Amino acid sequence: MTAKRTVNHFTLSTKTGAENLVGLLQRNRWFRDLPDDCISEMVGLARLRQLDDGERLHAQQDPPDGLYGVISGAIKISSTGADGREALLTVLSPGNWFGEISLFDGLPRTHDAHANGPTELLMIPRLGFHQLLERRPELYPHFMRLLCRRIRLSFGMLEDSALLPLPSRLAKRLLMHAHNYGQTEEAEGRPSIQLSQEALGLMLNSSRQSINKLLKRLEQAGWLQIKYGEIVLLQEDALTRLATGETPPDISE
């Protein structure tokens, strides 16, 4: 049995070594350019947290506690309106990092975060992170670029929602998720995503039925393959053209 010890509500396990955590940071485009000693310091600060399916990590308006990276499983980022309807922003897969807004401005969390399946997270506490920046102020420009990239992505999604038809928005979201929003190195083989059609509908403000019809048309065109719990992208060039608004009639109708 693997020896474990608990610190607060985080579980540190000897099964996950520091080398694996260093690798998680180095595979991420936001962190791989940092000096090696800085990555080692961040790993030294890090804590592990394990969540059950559906367990809440934090709620909207919760105070910030740190920066999170997804090791396994997934994290659903959403909010709930006064009428009880859910607005699903995204589902973050392994390699993705989140929580940087509250990390820097110190204000409450902007959205709810729940585990989508059994999930393991790496957390870098806010206090320790800011102490690292005080010792290494040359790191500020690096993390400001991280924030700027996130803002650009947010503006792009708002623009897409207003200007692009649903087929283009679906293709763009599939490509973004398949490539982890550009955060991590490209995996070998066909890119794929693990998202339900219901989740895609919520993210795109559409119905599951509409998403299902579009996905079937894209599959018939040979651009993707629908598997149980997975969508495999076969023709990225075609999906990219669709994402930029070049919508063939047989797809958009």
Q: What is the CATH number of the domain that holds 208?
A: 1.10.10.10
Q: What is the domain extent for residue 244?
A: 165-252
CB contact set of 36 (below 8 Å; sequence gap of 6+) = none
Reduced to 3 states, what is the DSSP secondary structure of residue 76?
strand
Q: Is 112 within 8 Å of 60 (Cβ atoms)?
A: yes
pLDDT confidence tier of residue 231, bands split at 50, 70 and 90: very high
Whether residues 116 and 199 fall in one domain: no
Over 50: is that where the pLDDT of 196 sits?
yes
Q: The tokens 């066909």 sit on which residue?
A: 190
Whether residues 119 and 186 fall in one domain: no
The answer to whether residue 239 sits within a structural domain is yes
Q: Is 95 within 8 Å of 180 (Cβ atoms)?
A: yes
Reduced to 3 states, what is the DSSP secondary structure of residue 55?
coil
Higher-pLDDT residue of 74, 250: 74
Mean pLDDT of 154-176: 90
pLDDT computed for residue 4 by the predictor? 37
Q: Is 67 within 8 Å of 100 (Cβ atoms)?
A: yes
Provide the number of structural domains found in the chain: 2
Whether residues 61 and 180 fall in one domain: no
pLDDT computed for residue 153 by the predictor? 84
Q: How many Cβ atoms from other residues are within 10 Å of residue 162's Cβ?
A: 7
- In the chain, the DSSP E strands lie at 4-7, 10-13, 47-51, 56-58, 66-72, 75-80, 86-92, 97-98, 112-115, 119-125, 192-193, 224-227, 230-233
Predicted TM-score of the model (pTM):
0.80
What is the Cα–Cα distance from 227 to 194, expressed in whole angstroms?
Answer: 10
Whether residues 204 and 129 fall in one domain: no
Reduced to 3 states, what is the DSSP secondary structure of residue 113?
strand
Whether residues 147 and 173 fall in one domain: no
The answer to whether residue 158 sits within a structural domain is no
The answer to whether residue 240 sits within a structural domain is yes
Whether residues 100 and 195 fall in one domain: no
Whether residues 146 and 24 fall in one domain: yes
Whether residues 147 and 170 fall in one domain: no
Higher-pLDDT residue of 70, 4: 70
Looking up residue 46, the CATH number of its domain turns out to be: 2.60.120.10
pLDDT confidence tier of residue 247, bands split at 50, 70 and 90: low
